[in-house]
């Protein structure tokens, strides 16, 4: 299935891009995250244990959320106000 991935704030800076399109066989957000982590390099900024939030089609989700074709998955660090 095809997905649009978006990266925000410090993740965008570490990856050097704000978005990318990809094709995957992953069925859940967690499986897709594993696929990205397997690429290593800058994608390690998405590692578990790091403060990373995810939104699927602009709705906050956990790793067990199923993904669908043509979905948008966003990764971003927690945001604080002040």
Instruction: Write down the pLDDT at residue 79.
Output: 73
Residue range(s) defining the domain that contains residue 57? 2-76
The answer to whether position 66 is within a domain reads yes
In this prediction the pTM is 0.91
The answer to whether position 60 is within a domain reads yes
For the chain, what is the domain count?
1
Instruction: Write down the pLDDT at residue 40.
Output: 96
The answer to whether position 82 is within a domain reads no
Instruction: Write down the pLDDT at residue 17.
Output: 97
DSSP the chain: -EEEEEE-HHHHHHHT-SEEEEE----BHHHHHHHHHHT-GGGGGG-TTS--EEEETTEEE-TT-B--TTEEEEEE------
The answer to whether position 81 is within a domain reads no
Instruction: Write down the pLDDT at residue 32.
Output: 97
- Average pLDDT of each block of 10 consecutive residues along the chain (82 residues)? 96 96 97 97 94 95 96 88 58
Instruction: Write down the pLDDT at residue 44.
Output: 96
Q: How far apart are CA 56 and CA 70, in angstroms?
A: 11
- CATH no. for residue 10? 3.10.20.30
The answer to whether position 51 is within a domain reads yes
């Amino acid at each position: 299935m095809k997905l649009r991935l978006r990266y925000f704030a410090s993740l965008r800076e570490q990856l050097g891009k704000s978005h990318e399109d990809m094709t995957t066989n992953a069925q859940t957000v967690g499986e897709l995250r594993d696929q990205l982590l397997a690429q290593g390099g800058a994608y390690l900024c998405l590692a578990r244990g790091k403060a990373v939030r995810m939104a699927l089609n602009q709705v906050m989700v956990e790793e067990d959320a199923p993904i669908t074709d043509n979905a948008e998955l966003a990764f971003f660090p927690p945001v604080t106000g002040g």
